[in-house]
Amino acid sequence: MSTDFQLNAEKREDMGKGASRRLRRAGRVPAIVYGLDQAPEAISMTQNQVLKHLENEAFYSQIITVNLDGKSTQAVLRDLQRHPFKSYIVHMDLQRVDMNKPVHVHVPLHFINEEICVGVKAGGMVSHEVIEVEISCLPKDLPEFIEVDIANLNVGDSLHLSDLQLPAGTSLLELARGEDHDLAVVTIHAKKGGGEEVEGETEGEAEEGGA
């Protein structure tokens, strides 16, 4: 875990849709923190600090420190609601975590070496079947992303979940469900259609026209 995300929050006393609208008009994001057998807390933080953090994709998968009334709580982002066409956040759900217990988090995949991939050089096309995976690990071991090296894939080749190089201390929840859950992550497909097929159709049409 290399990125330190801090949210400075205030308690929300007024509840309901009207109160949330007033908060958003004041440039704040209504949110809730729950979990660890503690009562949920209604909080808010400024839109600016949330939007700034959202520029970093790791914010969606890393531990977030929520500072409230002089105390700090570690949490992960569980839900984020954006306005459908305006650039502000409508609501956030944060789940408390115990730093000594495993957490389940979705982590993005970063595909590398596509430009030198054997199959791409042979004319194939890269198909990303999965763009994120759900992992289990202690909070201190949470990666910001998992790299997927496709340099050696040829046309027709695939990499599966079981082929991923996971950071130490992490495991894939999907694989724990059984061998039939070893999904393809990325595949190199042959390009559909081609010049010869098109020419054949054109020649056939020409013959028909001349008959």
Phi, psi angle pair for 199, to nearest 5°? -60, -40
Reported pTM? 0.81
Q: Output the six-digit token pair for 88.
A: 């502000």
Banded model confidence at residue 12, pLDDT cuts 50, 70, 90: confident
- Name the H helices within 34-89: 47-54
Give dist(CA 86, CA 92) in Å, integer. Answer: 16
Report all structural domains of the chain as residue ranges with CATH numbers, in order of start. Answer: 5-97 (2.40.240.10), 104-189 (2.170.120.20)
**Structure confidence by residue, pLDDT tens digits, 47-75:** 999 999 999 999 999 999 999 999 999 99
Residue 139 and residue 89: Cα distance in Å, rounded?
Answer: 25
Confidence of residue 1 (pLDDT cuts 50, 70, 90): very low
- Using one digit for the tens of pLDDT, what is the confidence trace for 115-166? 999 999 999 999 999 999 999 999 999 999 999 999 999 999 999 999 999 9
- Give which of 129, 112, 125, 113 is closest to 174, Cα–Cα: 129
Determine how β-strand 10-11 pairs with β-strand 38-46.
antiparallel
Of 112, 167, 130, which is closest to residue 1 (Cα–Cα)?
Answer: 167
d(C-alpha 135, C-alpha 103), whole Å: 8
C-alpha distances in Å from residue 152, one per residue of 10, 114, 127, 175: 51, 10, 15, 24
